[in-house]
Amino acid sequence: MSITQNKVVSMSYVLKNNEGQVLDQADEQQPFMYLHGSQNIIPTLEAALSGKNVGDTLQVSIPAEQAYGEHSQELVQPVPRAAFAGVPAEHLVVGAHLQAQTDEGVRVVTIAAVDDQNITVDGNHPMAGIDLNFNVKVVAIRDASPEEIAHGHVHTPGMHAH
Ligand code: ZN
């Protein structure tokens, strides 16, 4: 069986940036699963997996603009400290993640800088501006259930709260 539309793919992977730093990974014992053809994963990676078989390995390098986008300076904004009145001080440190209410709903922002007047928040995805280098191994392939195809994602045992 090879990877085609509506197959559930289990894969192990290591994701590195261009400097070789590991950003994310899944091993063969606890592989990452997705429904092929349902845009569950980055399109470039999904396309590279098309037609592959169990045991195949592949290397896929994806420029930032095809992954989580370039880092946008417009999404980095100083916000007056008063807006964070309800947030414990220990959460207001550089690198911390906060949930922010925006016009497009709740999104996660990262604190980029802190001074006496302002907290500078960065609304970019944490992987924005980063070229992604995947080393992938296909661990298993199965047919998706009709329910999975209808939902557009994989169902794992015990996961049915939706
Ligand atoms: Zn579902």
Q: Give 5-57 pLDDT, tens digit per residue.
A: 999 999 999 999 999 999 999 999 999 999 999 999 999 999 999 999 999 99
- Ion ligand 1: residues, CB within 5 A, are 151
Q: Which residue has the tokens 């802190």?
A: 114
CA-CA-CA-CA dihedral for 157, 159, 160, 162, to nearest 10: -150
- Average pLDDT in the 60-71 region? 95
User: Count H helices, E strands: the chain?
Assistant: 2, 9
- Sequence letter at residue 117: Q
Q: Rounded distance, CA 138 to CA 99, Å? A: 35
Please tell me the pTM assigned to this model: 0.80
- Sequence letter at residue 123: G
Helix, strand, coil share of the chain (percent; to 5): 15, 40, 45
User: Ligand 1 center to residue 152 CA distance, Å?
Assistant: 7
User: Ligand 1 center to residue 147 CA distance, Å?
Assistant: 7
Is residue 71 very low, low, confident or very high in pLDDT (cuts 50, 70, 90)? very high
Q: Rounded distance, CA 56 to CA 3, Å? A: 11
- Sequence letter at residue 79: V
pLDDT digits (tens, 9 = 90+) for 98-110: 887 777 788 889 9
Compute how many other C-beta atoms are within 10 angstroms of the C-beta atom of residue 138: 21
How distant, in Å, are the alpha carbons of 24, 121, 133 from that of 20? Answer: 12, 27, 9
CA angle, corner 107, sides to 113 and 43, nearest 5? 110
User: Percent of the chain at pLDDT above 90?
Assistant: 81
pLDDT digits (tens, 9 = 90+) for 111-158: 999 999 999 999 998 899 999 999 999 999 999 999 999 999 999 876
User: Ligand 1 center to residue 100 CA distance, Å?
Assistant: 27
Domains belonging to the chain, first-starting first, are 7-67+128-151 (3.10.50.40), 73-122 (2.40.10.330)
Q: Rounded distance, CA 65 to CA 108, Å? A: 20
User: Ligand 1 center to residue 117 CA distance, Å?
Assistant: 45
Q: Rounded distance, CA 66 to CA 92, Å? A: 32
